[in-house]
Structure 1
């Protein structure tokens, strides 16, 4: 479990309703209504994106009266299903995929298996992508894709970045072009496959 201790607070006198805050919120916790930003306290995960990006300085982070606890219990899902989803996404279940918040692949997989179908829903449940909000979008998209979820970025949003190629996605043309320059794509993939496949032999949790 993780504790959210901060909450976005809007100064209506400074807010111009520009919607920048809407576009950068990873959990869709802030909306502009009648030309003023409104924060849903139950959804806000305290990432401070809105505060940092507001061009008018209309948002500040304040301490919550009571910390909000979030997280997905991996024991609430069949762990074999978690492993299978992670392996399909070429991720080790115990691999940390969000260093800012400390979220592992297994927790994101559990969230997806429990019904999360978008990065926003995954972030809301696990807290992932509420730190730097940049690096961990990739493994989230990989896990969602592996689960068969359709990936449709919210119109106007800024926080989705297309999936980058992995060792399993590189074309033969790219491999051939760079193999003579000291890159060992096939060898790298074999090592990664061994690491990920190792989780199947580690036994159930």
Structure 2
């Protein structure tokens, strides 16, 4: 199509997804003059609000939700409390979704949904997989259908609830 890639250095997090996905191999990554560090300091917000948001999303605050860069649920919750309202905004301030972009979208969407943010797929650019069902979302018919096959949905949910509850009661972050 003869379109030229334009990089906004303020928004680029060096994930190389554009380079990997360009069908014309027209994007080449270059090293920054100075390393870019991003992150949200959870100490800049009320940590009780962070814990409450994580609990509502059924995530332990210390749970790693982006394995590629090590972003935890409490940092994403703090980003939301500070005003991030989309997965893209969360990526810009925390660095989450700058690796594989696949695994962390679900907990990010859960946290945004728990915060009351209206979620809709972005136009162009970012991968979006939508919300998948969790242990808390499974319909009773699904649980019954698979119970005879050795699935223990209620027991699994109880374990997950306990982990979230432990996060609420207070591991220090």
The interval holding the TM-score normalised by the smaller chain is over 0.9
1:177 maps to which residue?
A: 145
8 A contact 1:95–1:104 mirrored in 2: yes
1:16 maps to which residue?
A: 2
1:138 maps to which residue?
A: 106
> Which one has a bigger Cα radius of gyration?
1
The CA deviation at 1:158 is 5.2
8 A contact 1:138–1:164 mirrored in 2: yes
Matched, 1:155 2:141: no
Residues 2-36 of structure 1, C-alpha deviation per residue, up to 9 Å, x if partnerless? xxxxxxxxxxxxx821xxxxxxxxxxxxxxxxxx2
TM-score calculated relative to the size of structure 1: 0.81
Matched, 1:195 2:163: yes
2:29 maps to which residue?
A: 61
2:163 aligned counterpart, secondary structure: helix
- Structure 1 CA distance, aligned partners of 2:49 and 2:111? 12
Counterparts in 2 of 1:107 and 1:158: CA distance versus 1, 3 Å = closer
Matched, 1:168 2:136: yes
The CA deviation at 1:99 is 0.5
**Count of aligned pairs:** 173
Residues 14-66 of structure 1, C-alpha deviation per residue, up to 9 Å, x if partnerless? x821xxxxxxxxxxxxxxxxxx2211011100000010111111111111011
- Structure 2 CA distance, aligned partners of 1:203 and 1:176? 35
8 A contact 2:5–2:27 mirrored in 1: no
The CA deviation at 1:200 is 2.0
User: Unaligned regions of 5+ residues in structure 2, if any?
Assistant: none
User: Unaligned regions of 5+ residues in structure 1, if any?
Assistant: 1-14, 18-35
Higher strand share: 1
Matched, 1:124 2:110: no
TM-score calculated relative to the size of structure 2: 0.96
- Structure 2 CA distance, aligned partners of 1:145 and 1:167? 16
| Of 92, 98, 105, the match for 2:60 | 92
